[in-house]
Structure 1
Amino acid sequence: MSGQGVFAGALLAPEAPRPIELRDPTGSDATRRFDVYRNNVAVALTEALAAAFPVVQRLVGETYFAAMARDFAREHPPRSPVMALYGAEFPDWTQRFPPLTALPYLPEVARIEQARREASLSADAVPLDPRVLAGLAPDTLAASAPRPHPAARILRTRHPALAIWGRNAERPDLAQSPPGEVLVTRPRLAVRTCAAPAGTAATLEALARRVPLGAALPAGADHSAIFACLFNAGALISEGDPEP
């Protein structure tokens, strides 16, 4: 392993030996300085993850979250200097982390938080005005293909993850949400998170593939409820809008 690889590996592993080749500007041993730097890096990465996943941190506690963050950093060191992007792999990692098997809902809570972060960083676009579709003839409406807003994210949950997130994120209106579909959007300046009726995920996924609206709406689903959810959340844009 190169000197750079040894340095990086030791930086993310507190139990790893200090690189003995390190010297300060005077030529003296610099391992104590390395310990300070290593601790600062660990703190910075933990704080970045805590900022991205505050509800996960609240659910497991700060001390345990810090230990999780150290283990995660060993497997997923930062690939970008932009810490706002760090931790995209964290939700899937929590699902594979053996100590968390007793908390099967936690990866889904983490995915909600990651979706909210992605939505906050996504491109802007003007939400589709529902009056545009309301004035179309039935055949024309079925053939239209509005697209998901760049910030729209849809999740399917097997556990009451949205309710758990809501109770810990000062969203009492979501505290009784059942398992199912979750829609996250940011049509303007604020990120929105809401329960979505069954079929919303399939509809958005089909529209993302440019499937016409008539075929995108799942058979047997409550189409009116899906439309209401998507338009209330500002989750659609016109098919004629340029790619963000």
Structure 2
Amino acid sequence: MPSLSARLDDFGSALLDPTRAVPDGLVGPDGKPSARRFSVYRNNVVVGLSEALRASFPCVARLVGDEFFAAMARVFVAIKPPTSPILLHYGAEFPSFIESFNPAASVPYLADVARIERAATEAYHARDEIPLAPAALAVIPHNKSPSLRLRLHPSLRIMRSEFPAFTIWRMNTAGGTPGPVDLSESQDTLVLRSDAEVDVRSMSPGSYEFLVALESGLTLSQAMANAFTADAHFDLSENLQELIQMGAFVGFDLSGEEGNDE
């Protein structure tokens, strides 16, 4: 007799594989295996997971249409079933799946649009922290500013795309109006929720490299150097002001000592 764990694994695998027979020991009211009943239950599970994906990736669904999205979601559900009972976590791998899904190859920007949507979901549910107040940086001596290390808000996400993914995402959000785009244009996107709402906006290559450097723990001067390499017109003061206003920072380290969060 297989263990309970093995039977549950068999049951879960059969739910997502229509070629599998009804698991042993699973019977209907008449005491006999019922392929029809199990098929209905199997379909309900797949449809439920597919609808969870549709709710998380509405722009992707709008771009490819309901029929294509449903077919793509079914394939994903079959090969990437949930590993947690919390459906909030489901779909983290969907953007990478789209990138490798051959039928979606004619929509090369689709995976990057999905990444923006996933980032917005993660940002919305990220933990809260009090953003750094502008006055906190004003008291730092000028000669120590280059060694400053800024700590980013837990909800902050940045994405780079070789396509105008931000523009395409924005045009396909609720109330957006699709229009022509130049697919040769690359775009970087910032996602942040420092308050109740998720803020999604495009950013310059210099700003992207600046945040990548800060995220990796580099100092302000090192991050600025990286930004200038990507964009000779990068404006440190302007970028810092905008990021602080957005609530992108929650603290700082200076000379190896942890800075205030106020």
Q: TM-score scaled to structure 2, two decimals?
A: 0.83
Which residue does the alignment assign to 1:196?
A: 203
C-alpha distance in structure 2 between counterparts of 1:160 and 1:190, whole Å? 23
How many corresponding residue pairs? 243
Matching residue within 93, 101, 108 for 1:89: 93
Whether the 8 Å contact between 1:23 and 1:29 is mirrored in structure 2 is: yes
Deviating more after overlay: 73-82 vs 122-131: 122-131
User: Per-residue deviation at 1:157?
Assistant: 1.1
Conserved? CA contact 2:205–2:227, under 8 Å: no
Q: Which runs of 5+ in 2 are unaligned?
A: 253-257
Contact 1:20 1:31 in 2 (8 A): no
- Tell me which amino acid in the other structure corresponds to 1:136: I
Provide Cα deviations, 1:94-125, integer angstroms capped at 9, x if missing partner: 00001111111000000000100110111101
2:221 aligned with 1:214, yes or no?
A: yes
Equivalent position of 2:152 in the other structure: 148
Equivalent residue letter for 2:56: A
Structure 1 residue ranges without an equivalent (≥5) = none
Secondary structure of 1:116 counterpart: helix
Larger radius of gyration: 2
Structure 1 runs, 4 residues or longer, greater than 6 Å off: 173-177
Structure 2 Cα separation of the partners of residues 26 and 242 of structure 1: 69
- Given the superposition, is the C-alpha separation of residues 241 and 31 from structure 1 closer, same or farther in structure 2, using an over 3 Å criterion? farther
Structure 2 residue 41 is the aligned partner of structure 1 residue 37: yes
Would the aligned equivalents of 2:207 and 2:227 in 1 still touch at CA under 8 Å? Answer: no
- 8 Å contact kept, 1:197–1:225: no
2:89 maps to amino acid: L
Residue in 2 that maps onto 1:184: 191
Partner of 2:212: 205
Indicate how the Cα distance of structure 1 residues 172 and 4 shifts in structure 2: closer, same or farther if over 3 A, else same.
closer
Of 150-159 and 226-235, deviating more is 226-235
> 2:209·2:227 contact (CA, 8 Å) conserved in 1?
no
Distance 1:30 1:115, change over 3 A: same
Are 1:66 and 2:70 an aligned pair?
yes
Superposition RMSD in Å:
2.6
**Cα distance in structure 2, aligned partners of 1:154 and 1:171:** 24
Per-residue CA distance 1:133-184 (angstroms, 9 max, x = gap): 2343322222221111000000111101110110111476998895321100
**TM-score (normalizing by structure 1):** 0.89
Q: Distance in 2 between matches of 1:67 and 1:241?
A: 51
Give 1:214 deviation, angstroms.
Answer: 1.6
Task: Tell me if 1:169 matches 2:173.
Answer: yes
**Farther off after superposition, 205-214 or 169-178:** 169-178
> Quick one: which amino acid aligns to residue 167 of structure 2?
A
Cα distance in 2 for residues equivalent to 1:59 and 1:100: 11
Give me the whole-angstrom Cα distance separating, in 2, the residues matched to 1:200 and 1:188.
22
Select between 180-189 and 140-149 the one with higher mean Cα deviation. 140-149
- Counterpart CA distance in 2 for 1:133 and 1:148 is 14
> Per the alignment, do residues 242 and 111 of structure 1 end up closer, same or farther by CA in structure 2, a change over 3 Å counting?
farther
Deviation at 1:201, TM superposition (A): 2.8
Q: How far 1:48 moved relative to its partner?
A: 0.7
Q: Which amino acid aligns with 1:201?
A: Y
